Amino acid sequence: MSDVERVDQLRVLEELKAAAAAAQARIAVDLDLSQRREQEAAGVPAVRRGRGVGAQVALARRESPHQGGRLLGLAKALVLEMPHTYAALESGALSEWRATLLVRESICLDAPARAAFDAQLWADPVAVERLGTRALVARARQIAYRLDAAGVVARARRAEHERGVSLRPAPDTMTYLTGLLPVAQGVGVWAALTRTADALRAQGDGRSRGQIMADTLVERVTGQACAERVPIEVQLVMTDKALLAGDAEPAVIPGYGTVPAQFARDLITDRLDASAGTGGETNADAGKVLAWLRRLFTAPGTGELVALDSRRRIAPPGLARFIAVRDQACRTNWCDAPIRHRDHVVPAAEGGPTTAHNLRGACEGCNYARQAPGWTARTLHTAAPGDDNAGGNTACQRAGPGGHVVELTTPTGHRYTSHAPPLPGHPPARATAPPGRHATDSRLKRLLERHLVDFDRTA
State pLDDT tens for residues 65-76: 889 999 999 999
Q: Which residues contact 202 (CB under 8 A, 6 or more apart)?
A: none
Determine the pLDDT at residue 274.
57
Lowest mean pLDDT among 24-28, 233-237, 312-316: 233-237
Least confident of 235-239, 288-292, 444-448: 288-292
pLDDT of residue 171: 79
**C-beta separation of 432 from 242 below 8 A:** no
pLDDT at residue 117 tops 90: yes
Average pLDDT, the chain: 78
3-class secondary-structure state, position 124: coil
Please name every residue paired with 235 in a beta bridge, in sequence order, or none if there are none.
294
**pLDDT tens digits for 245-258?**
666 667 766 666 67
Q: Is the pLDDT of residue 349 over 70?
A: yes
3-state secondary structure at position 391: coil
Is the confidence at residue 14, as pLDDT, over 90? yes
Quick one: pLDDT at residue 182?
A: 87
Per-residue confidence (pLDDT) for residue 384, from 0 to 100: 46
pLDDT digits 0-9 by tens, 403-457:
789 999 999 999 999 988 876 655 433 444 444 444 445 555 555 444 434 433 3
E strand or H helix at 216, and its extent?
A: helix 209-222
Looking at the chain, the whole-number percentage of residues with pLDDT higher than 70 is 71
What confidence score (pLDDT) does residue 447 get?
Answer: 52
Amino acid at the residue 402: G
Residue with the bigger pLDDT between 248 and 62: it is: 62
Q: How far is CA 63 from the centre of its chain?
A: 11
CB atoms closer than 10 angstroms to residue 1: 7
Structure confidence at residue 431 (pLDDT): 42
Selected residue with higher pLDDT from 436 and 58: 58
Residue type, 115: A
* CA angle at 93 for the pair 116 and 18, rounded to the nearest 5°: 105
pLDDT for residue 294: 53
Q: Where are the alpha helices (DSSP H) in 225-260?
A: 240-244
Cα atoms in the 13 Å half-sphere on the side-chain side of 396: 14
pLDDT digit string, tens, across residues 393-404: 333 333 334 478
Of the two residues 437 and 358, the one the predictor is more confident about is 358
Residue pair 238/249 in contact (Cβ under 8 Å)? The answer is yes
